[in-house]
Structure 1
């Protein structure tokens, strides 16, 4: 028994020594690079459990989610565009700003879906917003809103300098240039400048000869839609504008405004040569040709030249024998409208021209002019009443 126990204990001691030797050999034979990798993995595992590292991962995820938000993308796009405009080496960084050609050819970037939709409606011609009073259609909702002020009479935008009111903010902005004298839109052919882009577009048709608006009754064509609308009132007889001082009515607003200067005595247009003043620009331009000697309108039949187109047109009736103006009371015909106007005073008895010295009255301004020479002694020739 004692021999068996001693043999068993000896066997256990040998087994333990063998296990220790195996462990030592395993450690000694293990690759040091593999050991380092295992140590790194353990270190990373511990580091991942660190609270600071977890917070950094959370912030990274938040930034990543935020960068995918549409508003953030829009901001980045705008910053890139601003940076390109401010970059001195960028071809878009001209100090004077991009040219008109660059603006036309530059691709449009839409930072909002709404602006893209609006632009698509413009290109497609879609006009989903319709006025329930007149049926006119618009591509944008605010354009319809501004249009509806025409029916309601509302003019919510007023000039702080003169008090004039307008239906749209864009019209007010263009009006303000009347006070500032700013005319940012100029014609590249003749140099004429304008306060509004629309006025320049109409002016360019003077050079191109384009008259896109025509009357459906007499086929007369016009450069501007407003001129056509005013012309149509010749056929309908409509005269919606009236003078509150004398009751005279007019078919166009600007004609009323020009007439009101008769009462106010305002003559805002003056000649740079002789300081003579006029109530309208067309009269001033015709007057200036007296100083320059310019006569650009010539008769193709007799060669006589005139300072304005109206006088040439009147002169040509001498050759054609045309007398388009007639009296509705006696049937007499006249080549000029003013001739008919003076003639009608024979029937009405109106004599609006009077002498401020003796009170004598005349139907025609030339009759008064000749009469006044009697008082000044300029002539001794008696002039009969005209």
Structure 2
């Protein structure tokens, strides 16, 4: 059978089409024309079908449901990608070290470990990234843009994926299960870290001290010990911290926020560890025992002060 003629050729890339309308639609890729705008968020698209697909984010339509866990998706390709979690398929192998991945994007992110190439630079703080999408995501930390809102509690997020993960707090969904012990997790990254407990594998090693970690995030966080970097600064008093979580905890000094409440008596605390210590007054638990006299305490600091009595 004779192949159909394609008389309409693109002047930019020489791609050919059977119909003029297809060529005109294709040329929008080169000229940057985005004629289809979303009425909800003003995001614009080159093709109508892309706008229609995008609008499912706003109307909540999820036509593709997983037969294993009933999770639903707006696009078929997302369902197919998700199903790999259940069937254990890992089709993408790193040519450098042989590690295999379920998703192509995860392989690409991993490969940055070997090449160290980071061509995308933030104009605000000079931080560099392997991918443009990561740069765009990072830039929202400077603008404060958080377009994705949780319908349950109103919390907002910079990324749709972060919202999806957060929503599992409300639903209790834990789609990622360990094949070794059956423990389930709400995040795939949490499962991967957990699996390292069974394998003992620590692929990410610090070049300064040789300490190894089960994930790259932990290595990067550890690296700040050596560099002394403190990128997170308090707007109230100027004190800086190596980790964002430390800054958030510190800010409670200024705001007076006490998010941790005792279920027994209703007393509230600024820190989770303070709640845990307090709860022992109700349970009677005293996990810190003196080796000299077997006296036990509800927290380590009480044990420390007690032990000084024996050393005097």
1:236 alignment partner, one of 136, 140, 143:
143
User: CA shift at 1:199, angstroms?
Assistant: 7.0
* SS of corresponding position for 1:128: helix
Is 1:381 the counterpart of 2:267? The answer is no
For these two proteins, the number of residue pairs brought into alignment is: 263
1:159 alignment partner in structure 2: 63
2:92 alignment partner in structure 1: 186
Q: Deviations over 1:51-94 (max 9, x none)?
A: xxxxxxxxxxxxxxxxxxxxxxxx2x4xxxxxxxxxxxxxxxxx
* SS of corresponding position for 1:347: helix
Instruction: Provide the C-alpha distance between the structure 2 equivalents of 1:312 and 1:201, rounded to a whole number of angstroms.
Output: 19
Distance 1:360 1:310, change over 3 A: same
User: CA shift at 1:297, angstroms?
Assistant: 2.9
Pairs within 5 Å for 1:7-46: none
User: What TM-score, normalized to structure 2?
Assistant: 0.66
Is 1:327 the counterpart of 2:243? The answer is no
User: What TM-score, normalized to structure 1?
Assistant: 0.55
User: CA shift at 1:113, angstroms?
Assistant: 1.4
Q: Deviations over 1:282-332 (max 9, x none)?
A: 122222223322333333333333333333333333333332222212222
Structure with greater helix percent: 1
Q: Deviations over 1:156-177 (max 9, x none)?
A: 99635366434xxxxx345345
Q: Which runs of 5+ in 1 are unaligned?
A: 1-74, 78-110, 136-141, 167-171
1:159–1:176 CA contact under 8 A, matched in 2: no
1:145 alignment partner, one of 25, 48, 54:
48
Which one has the largest radius of gyration? 1
Instruction: Provide the C-alpha distance between the structure 1 equivalents of 2:220 and 2:256, rounded to a whole number of angstroms.
Output: 30
User: CA shift at 1:224, angstroms?
Assistant: 3.8
Is 1:362 the counterpart of 2:254? The answer is no
Distance 1:144 1:200, change over 3 A: farther
Instruction: Provide the C-alpha distance between the structure 2 equivalents of 1:210 and 1:322, rounded to a whole number of angstroms.
Output: 21
1:371–1:383 CA contact under 8 A, matched in 2: no
Distance 1:192 1:310, change over 3 A: closer
User: CA shift at 1:211, angstroms?
Assistant: 4.4
* SS of corresponding position for 1:231: helix
Pairs within 5 Å for 1:287-306: 287-306=194-213
Q: Deviations over 1:33-66 (max 9, x none)?
A: xxxxxxxxxxxxxxxxxxxxxxxxxxxxxxxxxx
RMSD over aligned Cα, in angstroms? 4.0
Q: Deviations over 1:336-359 (max 9, x none)?
A: 211111121222222222332333
Distance 1:188 1:119, change over 3 A: farther
Is 1:112 the counterpart of 2:4? The answer is yes
